[in-house]
Structure 1
Amino acid sequence: MLIASLKPRTMGGTTNTGLLTYALARAGHLVTCYDADESLQLAAWARDAGDFPCEVHVADTPAFAEAVYPEMDHDRINVVDAGHAENHPDIVDSILEVVDLVLLTLSPTNPDYERLTKPERGTPLAKVIKRSAALRASGQPPATYVLLNRCQAGASSPRKYADLLLNGGKDGTDHKWSVLSTQIPRREGIASAVGFPCNKPERKKPYDALVTELTGLGHLPQARR
């Protein structure tokens, strides 16, 4: 299967991709990663961390569906880290053509919410995902979930923005998103994770919970222990 980590112009997407990969491996899954962000930050992390759990292939190409996807081992969980969607629309379109599950990183702030729903420039991600249906074998867009990121403990903003996303905005006319109950907390140990080993408890617990939730939703296969 193939999981795509997407984001509008927000922070923490590659961090979530990497720490999710560690969590999938801890759960017993065989994992391979693909770096489709031109910054190649995930590939650099795998090179520098020393304990990254899998190989990371460079895959920042608008021919992802034609050139990368057919060569994957589809018995594994393949995870692709995409760049900001508004900056890499051709790559994102190609990924969406073949992906099984989209995880969309979003911080619970008004600027990030506006970039997702009504960007000043670029196509709203809901429309990008919806239009991919025409290119997919199923004729349907991929299953997509918002993962709220950098959530401050005790703050009201995660609940506020989860409600806006779930209910189609203030007036109910915007796209209604599925939002994961797992939230990634705002912690220095997570924010500083890129390039370093996953050897701190705060880098593990939220992502283990994410794997558990995705498994419960039926989007992950049974792990191979």
Structure 2
Amino acid sequence: MLIASLKPRTMGGTTNTGLLAYALARAGHAVTCYDADESLQLAAWARDAGDFPCQVHEADTPAFAETIYPEMDHDRINLVDAGHAENHPDIVDSILEVVDLVILTLSPTNPDYERLTRPERGTPLAKVIKRSGALRESGEPPTTYVLLNRCQAGAASPKKYAGLLTGGGEKGTDPRWSVLSTQIPRREGIASAVGFPCDKPERRAPYDALVTELTRRGHLPVVGVGA
């Protein structure tokens, strides 16, 4: 299967991709990563961190669906880290053509919410995802979840923005998003993870919870079942 880590112009998407890969590997899944961001930050992280859990292939091409996807081992969990959708629309379109699941990283702040719903430039991500259905074999866009990132403990903002996302904004007229109950907390040990070893205690629990939730929702196989 293929999971895409997607984001508007926000921070933390590559961190979430790498630490999710780390959690998947700890849970017993075979994992491979693909770096489709022209910055190739995920590939550099894998090169520099001695405990990165899997191989990372460079995949920053608008021909992702034609050249990268057919060569994947689809018995593994494949993660692709996409760049900011506004900066890489051709790459993102090609990824959406073949992806099984999209995890959209978003911080619970007004600037990030505006970038997602009403960007000053570029196409809103809801429209980008919706239009991908025309290119997909199923005729439907991929299942997509928002993952709230950098959530301050005790703050009201995660609940506020989760409500706006699921409810279609303040007027109920914006696209409605499915929001994961797992939230990634605002912690220095997570924010500073890229390029450094993955194995720190504070980098485990939120991503273990994310793997558990994705499994419970039926998007990940139960390890050891059906093997």
| TM-score class, shorter | over 0.9
Alignment map for 1:137-148 (pairs within 5 Å): 137-148=137-148
Q: TM-score, normalised by structure 1?
A: 0.99
Residue in 2 aligned with 1:198? 198
Cα displacement string for residues 169-195 of structure 1 (whole angstroms, at most 9, x for unaligned residues): 000000000000000000000000001
**Structure 1: which amino acid aligns with 2:44?**
A
* Counterpart contact for 1:29–1:224, Cα < 8 Å: no
Note the aligned Cα RMSD (angstroms): 0.8
> Runs of 4 or more off by more than 6 Å in structure 1?
none
Cα displacement string for residues 114-169 of structure 1 (whole angstroms, at most 9, x for unaligned residues): 00000000000000000000000000000000000000000000000000000000
Residue-pair matches, total: 225
Q: Secondary structure at the match of 2:83?
A: strand
Unaligned runs of 5+ in 2: none
* Counterpart contact for 2:25–2:53, Cα < 8 Å: yes
**Structure 1: which amino acid aligns with 2:21?**
T
Residue in 2 aligned with 1:113? 113
**Structure 2: which amino acid aligns with 1:179?**
V
Alignment map for 1:44-123 (pairs within 5 Å): 44-123=44-123
**Structure 1: which amino acid aligns with 2:159?**
R
* Counterpart contact for 2:51–2:199, Cα < 8 Å: no
Counterpart Cα distance in 2 of 1:75 and 1:30: 8
Residue 224 of structure 1 and its aligned partner are, at CA, apart by 4.4
Cα displacement string for residues 37-91 of structure 1 (whole angstroms, at most 9, x for unaligned residues): 0000000000000111110000000000000000000000000000000000000
Unaligned runs of 5+ in 1: none
Residue 223 of structure 1 and its aligned partner are, at CA, apart by 1.9
**Structure 2: which amino acid aligns with 1:131?**
R
* Counterpart contact for 1:97–1:133, Cα < 8 Å: yes
Q: TM-score, normalised by structure 2?
A: 0.98
* Counterpart contact for 1:30–1:224, Cα < 8 Å: no
- Residue identity (%): 86
